[in-house]
Structure 1
């Protein structure tokens, strides 16, 4: 018996955009649920897609890759892509991987220890003494 994916996708059309609300875990087993929703958005010819990540409790590299691919494909097809309201776990992943600006936009601001850790990783500067 196959276990159902742990990712719930709710898609709705608003006036000028399609909104996809994700809830649960984005991992290699559940990514096809998200990519199927993005394929529907593409087929429908949506001008903009906004992805709400506030209820995503876990996201691994498979989920991150799916989001980055969706963003790139959307922009290639002339559609605006914007991720919104990342959960703390998702924001931490985006911060540590340097993908905040790509997925959340250049104006999104992070703060706190994860931002410092990400900056240290990017700069390869040594950790402060303890």
Structure 2
């Protein structure tokens, strides 16, 4: 019997959930991802960690599902974090500027680092990109 293209495991702890996805995330399986994240929100979960370690492939439909879920969860006062994204997702996150999903920074709250105080004589340090060269 062949394995399903995507398996979803969910473990709750109060208002926090760990969702582990295993398999491939594409146009055929992304409705399962969306439904899983939406169910967490309906169940009152406000912090969602998504472990992508067992994911072998993720296309832009998966990225879109994570961005949509991030917006919805942030609007409800929560956060969505992606952990251990597959190699196919890392360049998309980098190009689209979506590294905040990996850091857990709520959508819409990205801002440049504050300027150093005027009384300091230390020159400002430019921000370091979170992802470079596909390394996580």
TM-score of Structure 1 vs Structure 2, range by shorter chain? 0.7 to 0.9
TM-score, length-scaled by structure 2: 0.70
Could you say which structure has the larger radius of gyration?
2
Partner of 1:36: 35
Across the aligned residues of Structure 1 and Structure 2, the Cα RMSD in angstroms comes to 2.5
What is the number of equivalent residue pairs in this alignment? Answer: 111
Whether 1:18 aligns to 2:39 is no
Q: Secondary structure at the match of 2:27?
A: coil
Residue pairs, 1:1-130, within 5 angstroms: 6-14=5-13, 17-101=16-100, 103-105=101-103, 109-112=130-133, 114=134
**Structure number having the greater helix percentage:** 1
TM-score, length-scaled by structure 1: 0.73
How far does residue 88 in structure 1 lie from its aligned partner after superposition?
Answer: 2.2
Please identify, of 60-69 and 84-93, the stretch whose mean Cα deviation from structure 2 is larger: 84-93
| Residue segments in structure 1 that go unaligned for 5+ positions in a row | 116-130
| Residue segments in structure 2 that go unaligned for 5+ positions in a row | 106-127
